Homo-oligomer: A and B are copies of this chain.
């Protein structure tokens, strides 16, 4: 009962991750998934119950670790700061850097999962929206509070918005690592695709911090 089950479940989850990333939830059929995974059509309903539950499991498998890691890192930063405010750059790196570094970790989904996450955050079906809101709530609240403390001179509403802008920039940065040229037909000459992800992290971080710390707009 060991290897068969585990293999089948994993194969389904891997194929789903790939296909949901490429074609979205509604655009991916169970027959594509089971065909790609090389398992029987009925296997998804046997192991996961339904397509919706499968989608949730695809996310849970990755997000559980990601959000726990984010909590751990922020815990460490706050312990180190010993009551003082944590630097904004450290908070941003803990949240977005931890996410981006998943791209290099194939065991945690790598680029495929990141791109799936990026696109799903803007195309949420009702059920997945509710699911993500629940999965993310705790972490979001922690980081929000940390930023409030780190930037006491910036109004809270402004911080919330800027966090949201950062999410968007990051989402596009991920989703568009090769989709960039698909929309814009741009090319970045002197880099091959392995370099690109390594350079993306400092590039994006610089951009995010520039935006986060920008001078307040005048009303």
Q: How far is the CB of A41 from chain B (nearest CB, A)?
A: 20
Complex contacts, A175 vs chain B, CB 8 Å: 122
Copies in the complex: 2
Complex contacts, A151 vs chain B, CB 8 Å: none
Segment at the B interface, from A9-17, A32-40, A131-139: A131-139
Bits for A1-41, please: 1 = Cβ < 8 Å to B, else 0: 00000000000000000000001101100000000000000
30 A–B contacts from the bound complex (CB under 8 Å) = A24-B24, A26-B27, A118-B122, A119-B122, A121-B122, A122-B175, A123-B123, A124-B179, A124-B183, A129-B179, A129-B182, A133-B184, A133-B185, A136-B183, A136-B184, A140-B184, A140-B185, A158-B203, A164-B176, A165-B172, A168-B171, A169-B169, A169-B172, A171-B172, A202-B218, A202-B219, A206-B211, A206-B217, A210-B214, A210-B215
